[in-house]
Structure 1
Amino acid sequence: MEFYSRADPHPAEQCLPTLSKLGNPSVSDQIDVQAISSNWLEAFARQISVHNVEGVLDLLVQSSFISDVLPSDKDGSKKAPSPSPAGNTFPVYWRDVLALTWDYRTFEGTSTIRQFLTSQLAKMQMSNVKLGSIAPALEKPFPDLTWIQAFFTFETEVGHGTGIVHLVPLASAQAHTTPKLLTLGEITWKANLVFTTLEGIKGHPEKIGNHRNPLPNHGRWEEERKKEIAFEDRDPTVLVIGGGHNGLNIGARLKALGLDTLILEKNERIGDNWRTRYEALCLHTTVWHDPLAYLPFPSTWPVYTPAKKLANWLESYAETLELNIWTCSTVLGATQHPETKLWFVKVRKPDGSERLFEVKYVIWAVGLKGGKAYTPKYPGMDKFEGQMLHSMEHKSALDHVGKRVVVIGSGTSAHDISAEYVENGIDVTMVQRGSKYVTSSKDGIPLLLGALYNENGHPTHVADMIGVASPIPVTAGILHRVVKIIAEKDRETLEGLEKVGFKLNMGFKDTGLYIWIYIRAAGFYVDVGASQYIIDEKIKLKSDSKIQAFTESSVRFEDGQELPADVVVFCTGLSNVKETLREIFGEDVANSAPQIWGLNKEGEKMGVFKEIGYKGLYVMMGDLSVSRFYSKHVAFQIKATEVGLLDESKRYTL
């Protein structure tokens, strides 16, 4: 099979700093990692303190290599081309999250990094670089990959930050110019990756830990909370639309920074976006990966969280963190004043009355992908006499006992729902429209997530930074190797699926599901049992022809086959998030907003975690871990703006 036998090097690995590209240095496990890291950071700090761009660049790998791993097409389906230029070269990166750019940027190549530092190093007044409290470590993820990972702290004009550097061992002949103190024997240590992220605003710490309120509250707490939530005599500073995990995370971050915030949720209860979904729904990511901001799961929590349990946790989280939330509240529309740039947001309250808010900031918190249920249109659908519903409307297989069910789609919800039908003795056929990447929860997820998120690993916020530090092109190379290992472990399942006609792929350019999530938020299935039902033909499969039309009692295909059906469940994903944006904010905002979700040419997420072309309008989107990390940076931007520390002239953006 292609995904076991593909010969290396694979184009997805073009950005990996393999030992062969470094001149085949011999690196002992006994090297003094602390000394090497300290020496490099001392040299780095000296050059930073005098804003010496060329001095900083001397400490980094010199490279003109420009990768072509990232998608050149909208959905990322094109195969990776051969790397250019060819040869034993690899890129050098500096990734910044707000600290030096007030944006999310990944700079590739010495020339691009030089331009960035020339513009921003003195302007942002980076200073006081020190070795961090987390011990440097020698990392060897594969036999031909070796680097030292070191943390550092720093300050800027407006805040303080954390950095991560990867130091790679170059055979000295390949090191070009470098301070002698960084050359040990025949090896010179230089950075091929620098990561900087804003961690706090000067003078405005989060109200957590030692900064929380130290005073007791005798008898006034309940009354004060009711008044705080009611907003009878004031408008909030920030209005968050959506009370799912994105809305709750950003609400918690804003509260910790002292920003008056109201979260609007259309459902009756917090968590209903999970509580009202189909019975079989369960998270496919782990307990270590999925905490919300400031509140870890109890040590008794299961590794994989059932949807209804998560729903109750979200509700408990909102209460525990004292977030201001209005449930059963529908946003009717939002417009911006052309001169003041304030937002006027009309809301229908539970009692049917309306409230017009006047706020500085609106955050559109719309879940992983946003949008509404998408149902494709086929001829004859209006003639079908059975029941048609979207997976968002599906509740339980028991609703369809004795029926013949056709499930259109082959992603996660299609598998979960089809498996539930089988387990309740209901005839079900899955219609596969396109190939999918399949991995197992038993072997795949631990290999994908376990290195960062595990029982004995780094604290969650540290694991988040390590994961975010790696640019997408580098991550792609690592993932390609990991995915091959996973495929070998899943060989029996994958071969069984292919045997019955299930169409497989190996994910974005053979790198699995991780980058697919950032490009499409779709296209994969983490197997928790449904794959075996397909192999055993308990879930029947139709994958060899496209749907042509519906009849009164069946689904007809282009090859002439008809599937009799009493129930058709469309597991066909969500519509473009801009359509829901259009309903609330109008045509002008929806049409002029950038693409929301997906990756730009630097590998950064598009249209999220920053203003989307209108002052004060932000989008929060992503899974639990993405939301947890970037919610902090959305809150920092708003806080810095409120206190006059975000100078637009110092923003360095695409």
Structure 2
Amino acid sequence: MTADHLDVLIVGAGLSGIGAAHHVQDAFPGRSYAILEAREAIGGTWDLFRYPGIRSDSDMQTLGYRFRPWTDEKSIADGPAILEYVRSTAAAAGIDKRTRFGHRVIRADWSSADRRWTVTAEHGGETVTLTARFLYTCTGYYRYDEGYTPHFEGTDRFHGRIVHPQHWPEDLDYAGKKVVVIGSGATAVTLVPSMAADAGHVTMLQRSPTYIASLPAKDPIANSLRRVLGNRLAYPITRWKNVAFSTATYQLSQRLPGLVKSVLRRAQERQLPAGYDIDTHFTPRYNPWDQRMCLVPDGDLFRAIRRGTASIVTDRIETFTERGLALESGAELDADVIVTATGLNLLAFGGIELCLDGTPVSLRDTLAYKGMMLGGVPNFVFTIGYTNASWTLKADLVAEYFCRLLARMDERGESVCVPVNDDPTLTTRPLLDFDAGYVQRSLDAFPRAGARAPWQLGMSYVHDLVTLRHRSLDDGAMRFSS
């Protein structure tokens, strides 16, 4: 860790970064690498978010690493359990000792003459500089320092407390109080049933509904297989079962959205009070999986509504008042605490300024190669997971592909790899083809995707598995040199 030059420099010690380090270390035990982490702990998202009930919205058989079985009984796990899984993975492999905390990377400049990156980070009020042969960013794609809150009129008049889930205060006491959670995404549907256990009443205020499906928190098939076959054999079987289920659900949603709508509705009718207004509160204007579907373990949101400890209001906010919220319909919601679960701000590559020989790279003018490298940018890899499946499925494949690149370059004595687009007629599209508001707000700050392979961000695990794990590295776009 004292060396300033490294073979591989990984940015980010979250789920993706620890996985990337494990793959690199396992494939190339003699290589030098380090992780630069802006925060003071391993865990990324799972260390940052501390709001009540935080959990995965994917099963842990697919959100977990391919190389390390998830052994807890719960497949839909809570945040602390996931954080322990990531940290114990790092500790078991000694990755925690290769991590430099409190290092926020601000700039990375590729030198064509030296064939290496010069990376500048801030640490303890000082500037630290390292060089690396490869730069591998595992920073996710949203801002850690600031969540998204739209402008609301009258917030200064409200006498209660306003909280954003991304910055949950440890001293917030909501026991017995009236709480309004603004939002309808994964964070909101997690917060509402969790807070309803102690609050006087929790209201989820949404502008429009989200598709919500209930799954068992404990997967009976996974747990039965573990008892019979043990963790090592049961894990890949359960992982593929869940991949098949999520892929089939997504494809069915795209091809027969009416059928999926009716299945979801029938399930909701069984779990909600008789006569509940499903059309207003649980029927979105878009088709299933045009935006990410929310999962509620064991139907906890529906249970809270049945008990009367939680409710849903579908309306728009006109203004905050001294006592709560005035809505456009004329209704008013009283509140002691208002939680703005209104989304995320996206940030490409953790806000790092990329440069080529001192010239800044305009990300919006670059093309993403296989959803993991940038056209014209040498020896640079990034991780963006799936929006329709577990993030780690893609993160593992990216790490495997990166190791394949390194092995091939070692074998042939090559030092530089860079994707190049030679087709000036190639049409482009947004990198993230997803209709969620938090994505649409920030697309101009991200690279573009192409209309054909290999310039597309794949959203099919099976397709990516074949492409990234097995197909030739010499695809006409990737250029190698020594």
Structure 1 residue aligned with 2:252: 477
Structure with the greater relative contact order (CA < 8 A, sep ≥ 6): 1 or 2? 2
Matched residue type, 1:364? T
CA contact (8 A) 2:196 2:310 kept: yes
d(CA) in 2 for partners of 1:346, 1:620 = 20
Alignment of 1:607-626 (within 5 A): 608-611=371-374, 613-622=376-385, 623-626=391-394
d(CA) in 1 for partners of 2:278, 2:340 = 22
- 1:504 is the counterpart of 2:295: no
Q: Where does structure 2 lack aligned partners over 5 or more consecutive residues?
A: 386-390, 421-473
CA contact (8 A) 1:438 1:525 kept: yes
Structure 1 residue aligned with 2:425: none
Q: What per-residue deviation string (whole Å, max 9, x for no partner) do you get for residues 414-461 of structure 1?
A: 122222221113332211122211111239x969xx79x964797656
d(CA) in 1 for partners of 2:347, 2:225 = 33
CA contact (8 A) 1:438 1:527 kept: no
Structure 1 residue aligned with 2:151: 377
SS at match of 2:204: strand
Structure 1 residue aligned with 2:400: 632
Structure 2 vs 1, CA of residues 288 and 263 (structure 1 numbering), >3 Å: closer, same or farther? Answer: same
Structure 1 residue aligned with 2:189: 415
CA contact (8 A) 1:278 1:396 kept: no
Matched residue type, 2:99? I
CA contact (8 A) 2:281 2:312 kept: no
Structure 2 residue aligned with 1:217: none
Identity %: 19
Number of equivalenced pairs = 398
Matched residue type, 2:183? G
CA contact (8 A) 2:213 2:293 kept: no
What's the offset of the Cα at 1:277?
1.7
d(CA) in 2 for partners of 1:592, 1:465 = 37
Alignment of 1:461-476 (within 5 A): 476=251
What's the offset of the Cα at 1:317?
0.8
TM-score, structure 2 length as denominator? 0.69
CA contact (8 A) 2:179 2:199 kept: no
What's the offset of the Cα at 1:249?
0.9
Structure 2 residue aligned with 1:318: 90
CA contact (8 A) 1:383 1:550 kept: yes
Matched residue type, 2:43? G
Q: What per-residue deviation string (whole Å, max 9, x for no partner) do you get for residues 299-319 of structure 1?
A: x65444321122122111111
Q: What per-residue deviation string (whole Å, max 9, x for no partner) do you get for residues 41-84 of structure 1?
A: xxxxxxxxxxxxxxxxxxxxxxxxxxxxxxxxxxxxxxxxxxxx
Structure 1 residue aligned with 2:201: 427
d(CA) in 2 for partners of 1:527, 1:441 = 5
Matched residue type, 2:110? Q
d(CA) in 2 for partners of 1:640, 1:305 = 38
Structure 1 residue aligned with 2:442: none
Matched residue type, 1:540? S
SS at match of 1:618: strand
What's the offset of the Cα at 1:408?
0.6
Structure 2 residue aligned with 1:399: 173
Structure 1 residue aligned with 2:7: 237
Alignment of 1:32-431 (within 5 A): 230=1, 232-258=2-28, 259-271=31-43, 273-275=45-47, 276-298=49-71, 301-323=73-95, 324-337=98-111, 340=114, 342-349=116-123, 351-367=124-140, 370-372=142-144, 373-394=147-168, 399-431=173-205
What's the offset of the Cα at 1:252?
1.0
Structure 2 vs 1, CA of residues 639 and 374 (structure 1 numbering), >3 Å: closer, same or farther? Answer: farther
d(CA) in 2 for partners of 1:353, 1:246 = 27
Matched residue type, 2:324? S
CA contact (8 A) 1:428 1:540 kept: yes
CA contact (8 A) 1:609 1:634 kept: no
SS at match of 2:6: coil
TM-score, structure 1 length as denominator? 0.52
CA contact (8 A) 1:497 1:531 kept: no
SS at match of 1:256: helix
Q: Which has the larger radius of gyration?
A: 1
Structure 2 vs 1, CA of residues 439 and 471 (structure 1 numbering), >3 Å: closer, same or farther? Answer: closer
d(CA) in 2 for partners of 1:538, 1:482 = 29
d(CA) in 2 for partners of 1:326, 1:242 = 10
Structure 2 residue aligned with 1:558: 328
d(CA) in 1 for partners of 2:311, 2:121 = 46
Q: What per-residue deviation string (whole Å, max 9, x for no partner) do you get for residues 564-603 of structure 1?
A: 333221112212233x6445448744333458xxxxxxxx
Once the two structures are overlaid, the 10-residue window that deviates more, 585-594 or 623-632, is 585-594
CA contact (8 A) 1:497 1:534 kept: no
1:530 to 301, 308, 317: 301
d(CA) in 2 for partners of 1:242, 1:554 = 39
Please report the RMSD computed on the Cα atoms of aligned residues, expressed in angstroms.
4.0
CA contact (8 A) 2:180 2:205 kept: yes
